[in-house]
Chains A and B, each alone.
Chain A
Amino acid sequence: DAEITQSPRHKITETGRQVTLACHQTWNHNNMFWYRQDLGHGLRLIHYSYGVQDTNKGEVSDGYSVSRSNTEDLPLTLESAASSQTSVYFCASSSLTSEQYFGPGTRLTVT
């Protein structure tokens, strides 16, 4: 069965370190998205991609970057982790016409 996975599921890191969160989907979807979830804010869009080599900034992109070198993967990098980036991160993917399918989430703590 097709799926979308995220790794690691939990991560603790220190302020200033570079962190990369992985997202891998086997749906063969063109569209991929990264969101963060914080209490009181729902999910907010960080970056998104509509295909290989395409990346776009979302609502809360400062301090984050993504790259899309193939259809299946959209890794999210925190260049220099800050305590304000402690959050739950969700990756999602979709086709041109489908709803978004979400990964299980990564809980990141920056100490």
Chain B
Amino acid sequence: AQKITQTQPGMFVQEKEAVTLDCTYDTSDPSYGLFWYKQPSSGEMIFLIYQGSYDQQNATEGRYSLNFQKARKSANLVISASQLGDSAMYFCAMREGPGGYNKLIFGAGTRLAVHP
């Protein structure tokens, strides 16, 4: 069974607008973590944001925020004030278990295009 689902293969947004990239997950472990990575066309994987299953507040990092809805098992990435440099692939990933053993399961990714 797929553990991380990103249902949007591609998205586009106008520059300066906000965009939400969807991610749902499936786990029975009460301790887990959710990550978002960005992969620009150059190919490197860039860490954006992290949310732990026990964190009370939604994570934020600059223009990135994570809309964490535990009951719905969703961890959507919100990018505010989109910039042309945000055009990239975005991957949601999950770590099951406590932080010391943190192999990741990745979704298939969402390709975001930011239009001027």
On whether the beta carbons of A45 and B103 are closer than 8 Å, the reply is: yes
Return the chain A residue nearest B35 by Cβ: A99
Q: How many residues of B contact A (CB 8 A)?
A: 21
A39 to chain B, nearest CB (A): 9
Closest 3 CB pairs of A and B: A42-B106, A102-B45, A43-B106
Report which A residues bind B (CB closer than 8 A).
31, 33, 35, 40-45, 48, 50, 58, 88, 90, 92, 94, 96-97, 99-102, 104-105
* Interfacial chain A residues near B50, Cβ < 8 Å: 99
Given known pairs A42-B91, A102-B45, A104-B44, the reply for A97 and B99 (CB within 8 Å) is yes
Most buried by A among B47, B103, B107, B108: B103
Given known pairs A88-B43, A101-B47, A104-B44, the reply for A44 and B103 (CB within 8 Å) is no
